[in-house]
Amino acid sequence: MLTWNDILRTAKTGNPAPATKVVRTDAEWRSQLTPEQYRVTRQAGTERPFSSPMCELFEPGLYSCLCCDTLLFDASQKFDSGTGWPSFTQPVADNAIAYNVDTSYGMTRVETVCNTCDAHLGHVFPDGPPPGGLRYCMNAVALKKRKE
């Protein structure tokens, strides 16, 4: 189980290697994604809070990166954070997500990106529920729920 100290250490010293790497040109990403998906995942944008029904979706299942289909989260780790974005307590694997120190907007946060294709997913915070205390605050537009 990852802890906040693990996240901070990884963000500062380097991320684990992904199982595979997906690299596409900007033109390829633009042709694959809608303008909103591109803005969020490739330009580190943020969707409006409460803009996705995924926030209230709590059925069992798995969530993948919209861009490359890498498995990121299990619905068993999803919780209602009240923030307006889907929130999870842990990723499915320690190397599924990469962490970057983000000092934009005059604050210091930890950005989460898909470790396979570098898609911006959201941020992780140390105010989640026990036992790990993490809140992966994700943009719903960056995720897709896998079909059973």
- The pLDDT, as a whole number, for residue 148 is 65
Quote the tokens at residue 89. Answer: 């307590």
Give 3-state DSSP helix, strand, coil % of the chain, rounded to 5.
25, 25, 50
The whole domain housing 59 covers 4-145
Contact 28, 119 (CB under 8 A): no
Chain centroid to Cα 119, Å, comes to: 8
Known catalytic residues? 137
- The pLDDT, as a whole number, for residue 59 is 92
Average pLDDT, the chain: 95
- pLDDT tens series, the chain, 148 aa: 999 999 999 999 999 999 999 999 999 999 999 999 999 999 999 999 999 999 999 999 999 999 999 999 999 999 999 999 999 999 999 999 999 999 988 889 999 999 999 999 999 999 999 999 999 999 999 999 997 6
Cis preceding-peptide flag for 131 (omega within 30 of 0): yes
pLDDT in tens, 41-74: 999 999 999 999 999 999 999 999 999 999 999 9
Total domains, the chain: 1
CATH code of the domain in which 93 resides: 2.170.150.20
